[in-house]
């Protein structure tokens, strides 16, 4: 369906030349994300200024047009799919790093800056921004903010919500506002900054972010620990996180994930029932004692081998293999349900044991890997579309996975968000009062429901 001519005429006064497109082929490019869901928008606009975003929201509100903000489409839950048509606002042209301030340990960026580009710029100043998702070379800062992205470093340095100081944004009324300050402490009213992070573009559109920076460590060591089975590795995770030395990464791979990793990394990836990649960072003269403490915690029943990576090439191979896992899983089964559940770290062993039982009961392979140090396990249900039993069992299998997670006092998502994929499970994840409070917040920010409709909150 085409945009009504009055709205289109107004948009043409805001977005000139190739900053606005209603071309069907170009709209199709912005119709999907990494979830494989798809819905064609009626137009795509490419804002380059905050003022354009304010004007855009005003037009959409006045004409009742759905507006979906989009980074680079790496989301896996359908959060950036324009399910109600309308307009997609792609922020790829608002990609400037406005300021890097080492003295105050902050950076100010536009929403379309890529995570990896920011990290490269910060490295020259001796700093980094903590969130480091696998999609870092392609994902935008606003996309990280939208779903509270994490990554391996979150175990020590926190996810996006812990590393954003302030935001500039536009709500669904077309009102512009700022929240937060360029300080690491503040107690002045409600924390709107943290509220917007993880809201998936349903409350406001972010046009600027002030980010907290962390100095790069002087040294880093990487330890590879292998175990006879998944349960032994899961128990080691609990021991590691119960002692004083906090690793800057603690990644877990089960036996099938290791097999896939070997296809990518060769013999540098061992054959084992499971493996942990453990990194510690800090001053070089403190790393020996830190590694010794991690070794003691990682050792225990079921351990096969504990060794520090010999050189930077081995470290690079380990991490490249780990980051190749998600796409590699599609070689096992074209239909993959990828969830990023979280449970308390002490309950990771129970989660892993329960997943094995669910897998056997439904005859669906479940491959697990992820950020074990904060209990964030990527649970991948793999099934063949030509197998009618697996296709029929997949929904119940997923439902049981979530039941297990809730029983262990866990939650639906650690960093992927809810989007379209997990909306139906929200009433099981949250109590009715909490959900209603969220709906009221949504109505305050976006009373007409134009911002990213059909996402996050269930009907």
**What pLDDT, on the 0 to 100 scale, is given for residue 85?**
96
Determine the pLDDT at residue 317.
84
Fold of 97-215: 3.30.465
Alpha-carbon torsion (147, 150, 154, 157), positive or negative: negative
List residues bridging with 279 in a β-sheet. Answer: 222, 249
Q: Among 126-130, 189-193, 316-320, 451-455, whose mean pLDDT is lowest?
A: 316-320
CATH topology of domain 219-326: Alpha-Beta Plaits (3.30.70)
Radius of gyration of the CA atoms of the chain, in A: 23
Residue located via tokens 């968000």: 417
Determine the Cα–Cα distance for residues 141 and 121; give it in Å rounded to an integer.
Answer: 14
Query: Residue 328: its pLDDT value, please?
Result: 75
pLDDT at 262 (0 to 100):
81
- Render the burial of 259-291: b for 16+ CB within 10 Å, e for the rest: ebbeebbeebbeebbbbbbbbbbbeeeebeebb
Residue 410 has pLDDT above 90, yes or no: yes
Q: Which is nearest to 293 in space by CA: 221, 244, 233?
A: 244
In angstroms, the Cα distances linking 303 to 128, 256, 276, 354, 424 are 34, 18, 11, 21, 40
Q: Is the per-residue pLDDT at 36 higher than 90?
A: no
Given a contact cutoff of 8 angstroms between Cβ atoms, the answer to whether 45 and 15 are in contact is yes
When pLDDT is cut at 50, 70 and 90, the band that residue 232 belongs to is very high
Looking at the predicted structure, is the pLDDT value of residue 117 above 70?
Answer: yes
At how many degrees (to 10) do helices 348-362 and 230-241 cross? Answer: 160
Domain ranges of the chain: 5-90, 97-215, 219-326, 327-421
* Tokens 């406001």 found at: 204
Give the angle 370-454-379 at the CA atoms, nearest 5°: 15
Give tens-digit pLDDT for 199-222: 999 999 999 999 999 999 999 999
Write down the pLDDT at residue 264: 75
In sequence order, the 6+-apart residues with CB closer than 8 A to the CB of 177 are 168, 169, 170, 171, 192, 204
Alpha-carbon distance of 371 to 377, in angstroms, equals 6
Asked if residue 401 lies in contact with residue 351, where contact means CB atoms within 8 angstroms, the answer is no
pLDDT band for 197, please (50, 70, 90 cuts).
very high
Contacts of 438-443 with C-beta under 8 Å, sequence gap 24+, read 441/195, 441/203, 442/202, 442/203
Is the distance from CB of 400 to CB of 351 less than 8 angstroms?
Answer: no
Residues 248/153, Cβ–Cβ less than 8 Å: yes
CB 318 within 8 A of CB 270: no
Q: Tell me, what's the pLDDT at 451?
A: 98
Residue 114 in tokens: 């890529």
Residue in the structure block whose two tokens are 């002692």: 243
CB burial string 404-433: b at 16+ within 10 A, e below = bbbebebbbbbbbbbbbbbbebbeebbeee
Task: Return the pLDDT at 310.
Answer: 82
Q: Which of 88, 124, 323 is nearest to 213 (CA)?
A: 124
Determine the Cα–Cα distance for residues 82 and 341; give it in Å rounded to an integer. 25
Q: What local confidence, expressed as pLDDT, does residue 326 receive?
A: 74
- The token pair at 330 is 């599609």
Res. 65: pLDDT tops 80? yes
Q: Does 331 score more than 80 pLDDT?
A: no
Q: Which tops the pLDDT comparison, 328 or 367?
A: 367
Q: What is the pLDDT of residues 169-196, one digit of tens each?
A: 999 999 999 999 999 999 999 999 999 9
CB atoms within 10 A of CB 242: 10
**CATH number for the segment(s) 5-90:** 3.30.43.10
pLDDT above 90 covers what percent of the chain?
85
Classify domain 327-421 by CATH number. 3.30.70.2740
Per-chain mean pLDDT for the chain: 94
Fold identical between 97-215 and 219-326?
A: no
Q: Strand 274-282 relative to strand 335-342: parallel, antiparallel, unpaired?
A: unpaired
Mean pLDDT of 339-361: 94
Overall average pLDDT of the 143-157 stretch? 96
The residue-averaged pLDDT of 380-405 equals: 92
Global pTM reads 0.94
How far apart CA 150 and CA 133 sit, in angstroms, is 6
Q: Is the pLDDT of residue 256 over 90?
A: no
Say how many C-beta atoms besides its own lie within 10 A of residue 370's C-beta.
28
User: What torsion, rounded to 10 degrees, do the Cα atoms 5, 7, 8, 14 define?
Assistant: 150
pLDDT band at 386 (very low <50, low <70, confident <90, very high): confident
Task: Report residue 298 as tokens.
Answer: 């990682």
Going from the C-alpha of 438 to that of each of 95, 187, 297, 413, 446, the distances in angstroms are: 31, 22, 41, 17, 12
Which of 77, 73, 83 minimizes the C-alpha distance to 29? Answer: 73
Distance, CA of 31 to CA of 78 (rounded, Å): 10
The answer to whether the beta carbons of residues 452 and 200 sit under 8 Å apart is yes
| pLDDT band with cut points at 50, 70 and 90 for residue 1 | low
């Amino acid at each position: 369906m085409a945009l009504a001519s009055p709205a289109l005429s107004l948009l043409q006064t805001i977005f000139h030349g190739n900053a606005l497109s209603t071309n069907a082929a170009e709209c199709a490019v912005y119709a999907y994300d990494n979830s494989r869901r798809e819905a064609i928008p009626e137009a795509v606009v490419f804002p380059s200024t905050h003022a354009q975003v304010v004007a855009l929201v005003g037009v959409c509100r006045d004409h009742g047009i759905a507006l979906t903000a989009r980074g680079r489409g790496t989301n896996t839950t359908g959060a950036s799919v324009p399910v109600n048509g309308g307009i997609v606002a792609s922020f790829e042209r608002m990609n400037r790093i406005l300021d890097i301030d080492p003295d105050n340990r902050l950076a100010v960026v536009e929403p379309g800056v890529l995570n990896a580009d920011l990290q490269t710029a910060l490295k020259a100043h001796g700093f980094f921004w903590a969130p480091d998702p696998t999609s870092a070379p392609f994902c935008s800062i606003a996309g990280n903010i939208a779903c509270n992205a994490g990554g391996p470093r979150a175990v020590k340095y926190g996810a996006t919500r812990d590393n954003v100081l302030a935001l500039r944004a536009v709500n669904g009324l077309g009102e512009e506002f700022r929240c937060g300050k360029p300080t690491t402490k503040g107690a002045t009213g409600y924390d709107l900054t943290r509220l917007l992070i993880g809201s998936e573009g349903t409350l406001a559109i972010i046009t600027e972010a002030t980010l907290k920076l962390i100095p790069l460590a002087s040294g880093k060591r990487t330890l590879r620990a292998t175990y006879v089975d998944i349960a032994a590795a899961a128990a080691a995770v609990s021991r590691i996180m119960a002692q004083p030395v906090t690793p800057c990464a603690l990644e877990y791979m089960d036996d099938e994930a290791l097999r896939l990793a070997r296809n990518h990394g060769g013999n540098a990836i061992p054959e084992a029932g499971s493996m942990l990649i453990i990194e510690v960072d800090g001053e070089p003269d403190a790393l020996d004692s830190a590694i010794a403490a991690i070794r003691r915690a990682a050792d225990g029943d079921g351990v096969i081998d504990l060794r520090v990576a010999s050189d930077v090439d081995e470290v690079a191979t380990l991490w490249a293999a780990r980051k190749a896992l998600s796409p590699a899983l599609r070689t096992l089964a074209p239909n993959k349900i990828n969830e990023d559940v979280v449970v308390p770290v002490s309950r990771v062993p129970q989660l892993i044991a329960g997943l094995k039982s669910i897998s056997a009961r439904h005859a669906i392979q479940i491959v697990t890997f992820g950020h074990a140090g904060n209990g964030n396990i990527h649970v991948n249900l793999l099934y063949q579309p030509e197998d009618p039993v697996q296709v029929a069992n997949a929904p119940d299998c997923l439902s049981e996975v979530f039941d297990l997670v809730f029983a262990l006092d866990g939650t639906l998502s650690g960093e992927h968000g809810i989007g379209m994929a997990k909306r139906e499970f929200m009433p099981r994840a949250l109590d009715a009062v909490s959900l209603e409070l969220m709906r009221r917040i949504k109505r305050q920010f976006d009373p007409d429901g134009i911002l990213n409709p059909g996402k996050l909150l269930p009907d």
